Amino acid sequence: MGLLARRKRTKIILAFLLPELALILSFVLIPIMGTFVISFKTDHGYGLDNYYGVITERSPDKALVIPENIVKAQPPPWGALIHNIVWVAIHVPIVVFLGLGIAYLLHDVIGSSIVKSIMFLGMVIPMVVGGLLIRFMFDGDLGVVPLLFRKLGIEALSRTWINYPQTALIALILGSVWLWTGFSLTVYAAALESLPKSYIEAAKVDGASGFQIFFKVVFPLLKHATIVVVIMTMLWDLKIFDIVFVSTLGGPGGATNVMALIMYTYFARALDYGRSAATAVILALISLIPGIWFIKRVMRSGS
């Protein structure tokens, strides 16, 4: 390419890229670096004190792992990090199978687009409102879930779930299923739509049953969609904050604490920026597990 053309191209590239780079550098990258730096700051220079402090913290409202007085087989609190992990472990499989199952069945359902729209609502509403609605669903006086168990005569589950350590965490996780299944359903529905019918027809001709078709043909073909759902759900679960903040504030007794909330507690309540930053860094590093998976996939499909 000629020098002139190259110089002109360089100008265009710079002009188009500069605003973005400036904003990202100042308000995204520098703050991220800043958080790293702050997390290593101690009274006497730099060190790992904050990390040590955050990880060994035992008070139930700030513990990442294993709060004080823990006995075996005890209900939560188990520590925020564990709560996040439990969240992922329960939430991801339910969301995957519920979304995929409904998407697969929708083919035969009357008014399937209405079903899809209803399920998608959870993706559209503010998470704060979502948290309030979860609180409402599990409210002893008004909520549907406790009412259902009252009708079934199970007294222990007919009270306000969110007020008791035994049920609070699971209530929130189930609530997040309610909010997030729409995402998985939508991804799977789109993927199923783009799936050539001939595969399923071929399997039918080969004599496969409905279940076999689903597990042996459809599910493997939707691998890409599944990976997307798993990655995005994990990222979402790890960052979870609004729902918890507005419905339980981490309570009762730290039973629903999550990483993001601990970070906020150090920052806004304890005014301990070092530990707050250390918590944020730990959260970010954990998020990089699904994050790097995501990046690898993008870079591979891009080339």
Partner 1 sequence: MVRRRGKKLIKYIVINIVVWALAILWVLPFIGITMVSLRPFSEVVVKGWWNIIGQYTLKNYVDAWTDPMYSLETGFRNSLIVTIPSTVIPLFIAALAAYVFSRFSFPLKTMLFITLLIIMAMPQQMSVIPLFFMLNKMGLYDKLQGLILVHSSWGLAWITFFLKNFFDTLPKEIEEAARVDGASDFHIFFRIVLPMSLPAIASVAAIQFTWVWSDFFYALVFLVSPQNYVATLQVATMKGQYHIDWGLLSAGSILTMSVPLILYALLQKYYVKGMVGWTVKG
Partner 2 sequence: MTARVYLKNIVKRFGKVVAVDHVNLEVREKEFLVLLGPSGCGKTTTLRIIAGLEFPDEGRVYIDDKDVTDLEPKDRDVAMVFQNYALYPHLTVRDNIAFPLIIRRKQLGLTREEIYKKVLEVAKLLRIEELLDRKPGQLSGGQQQRVALARALIRRPKVWLMDEPLSNLDALLRLQMRAELKRLQREVGITTIYVTHDQAEALSMADRIAVMNKGRIVQVGTPEDIYLRPQHVFVATFIGTPPMNIIRCITDLRNNKLYLHCPGIEREIPPEVAKHLREDMELLLGMRPEFVEVHKEPGPDTIKAKILVVEPQGSELILNLNISPEDREETIVKVKTKATRKYSPGETVYLELDWTKISLFDAKTGKALA
- For residues 79-117, one letter each, b for 16 or more C-beta atoms within 10 angstroms of the residue's C-beta and e for the rest, the string is bbbbbbbbbbebbbebbbebbbebbbebeeeeeeeebbe
Residue 272-301 contact track with partner 1, rule CB under 8 A, x = bound: -x--xx-xxx-xx--xx-xxx-xx-xxx-x
For residue 244, give the amino acid letter.
V
From the list partner 1, partner 2, none, pick the one residue 65 interacts with, judged by a Cβ distance below 5 to 8 Å according to partner type. Answer: none
Under the binding rule (CB under 8 A), the answer on residue 186 touching partner 1 is yes
Nearer to partner 2, 3 or 268 (CB): 3
Interface positions, 166-205, toward partner 2 (CB under 8 A): none
Residue 128-167 contact track with partner 1, rule CB under 8 A, x = bound: xx--xxxxxx-x-xxxx--x--------------------
**Binding residue (CB under 8 A) for partner 1 from 92, 169, 173, 238:** 238
Q: Pinpoint the alpha helices (H) of the chain.
A: 3-24, 30-40, 49-56, 80-105, 112-124, 127-137, 144-151, 165-193, 197-205, 210-212, 219-221, 223-238, 242-247, 259-264, 273-302
Nearer to partner 1, 199 or 294 (CB): 294
Residue 71 beta carbon to partner 1: minimum distance, rounded to whole angstroms:
29
Strand partners, 42: 45
Q: How many whole angstroms separate alpha carbon 227 and alpha carbon 294?
A: 9
- For residues 243-281, one letter each, b for 16 or more C-beta atoms within 10 angstroms of the residue's C-beta and e for the rest, the string is bbbbbbebbbbbbbbbbbbbbbbbbeeeebebbbbbbbb
Nearer to partner 1, 75 or 291 (CB): 291
Stretch that binds partner 1, among 19-27, 47-55, 77-85, 212-220 (CB under 8 A): 19-27
Under the binding rule (CB under 8 A), the answer on residue 296 touching partner 2 is no
**Binding residue (CB under 8 A) for partner 1 from 82, 88, 172, 263:** 263
Under the binding rule (CB under 8 A), the answer on residue 108 touching partner 1 is yes
Residue 128, burial from CB neighbour count under 10 angstroms (0-12, 13-18, 19+)? middle
Residue 140: which residues within 8 A CB-CB, separation 6 or more?
146, 158, 159, 160, 163
Under the binding rule (CB under 8 A), the answer on residue 127 touching partner 1 is yes
From the list partner 2, partner 1, none, pick the one residue 2 interacts with, judged by a Cβ distance below 5 to 8 Å according to partner type. Answer: partner 2
Nearer to partner 2, 2 or 196 (CB): 2
Under the binding rule (CB under 8 A), the answer on residue 110 touching partner 1 is yes
Interface positions, 3-22, toward partner 2 (CB under 8 A): 3-5, 8
193 vs 95, 102, 119, 184, CA distance in Å? 19, 13, 18, 14
From the list partner 1, partner 2, none, pick the one residue 4 interacts with, judged by a Cβ distance below 5 to 8 Å according to partner type. Answer: partner 2
Q: How many whole angstroms separate alpha carbon 117 and alpha carbon 102?
A: 13
Residue 135: Cβ within 10 Å count: 21
Under the binding rule (CB under 8 A), the answer on residue 1 touching partner 2 is yes
Interface positions, 41-60, toward partner 1 (CB under 8 A): none
Interface positions, 65-94, toward partner 1 (CB under 8 A): none
Residue 92 beta carbon to partner 1: minimum distance, rounded to whole angstroms:
15
| 3-state class (DSSP) for residue 158 | coil
State the pairing for strand pair 41-42/45-46.
antiparallel
The residues of the shown chain that bind partner 2, judged by CB under 8 A, are: 1-5, 8
